[in-house]
Amino acid sequence: MILVINCGSNKSKHIGEIVDEFMDVKNVQLNEFSEENLKDIDGVIISGAPILVTEIDTTSIIEKMSWIKGTELPILGICFGHQIIGLLHGASASKMKEDRDWQTVEHYEECPLFEKLPSEILMMEDHCETISIPNGFELVASSDACVNECMQHLTKNIFGVQFHPEVSGNHGRILIENFIKVVSSSKQLLNN
């Protein structure tokens, strides 16, 4: 089962709809989330949010999500979720030119999220902030508008994407499906 932590994005419902085609899905609001919600969960997707991390004190959110640093669960952070994963691991956030349109995202590192996808894909953006590459992560994909479009942890199945695959058509669906394959493979390894 995949847990979708809904951080308030109006796009979050689309994440659950895509996941539900392949695997059971459970939804929880960020303000109602506790580590108890991780019981019997095989992977986690953290949604976007109408929150600017450069304009709020993120301390309470970082504390609430600190379990990420110790988990072996596969995690995909989308937009705000991507930024929170980065901040947890020492990244810095900064303002950038507002981007609420399609961008050509180019991936150039091996990454399971991009399996069966061309090296350049169109993804929908909805942000005005970016994060640096945190310690323990590598940069996987960039666009002309944003350097850190996708990052992956060097030793764990933790991924962050700045764009919104859940509203990016077929390529976005494939990316989420690829994450679900990571979750399934990880679950099989844990069960053996």
Catalytic residues: 79, 164, 166
CA distance 78 to 60: 19
Structure tokens, 161: 């994407």
What length is written for the chain? 192
For residues 24 and 100, is the Cβ–Cβ distance under 8 A? no
Q: Which helix (H) or strand (E) holds 3?
A: strand 2-6
User: Do 150 and 160 touch, CB atoms closer than 8 A?
Assistant: yes
* Residue with token string 């949010």: 49
Residue 1 near residue 41, CB atoms below 8 Å:
yes
β-bridge mates for residue 139, sequence order: 151
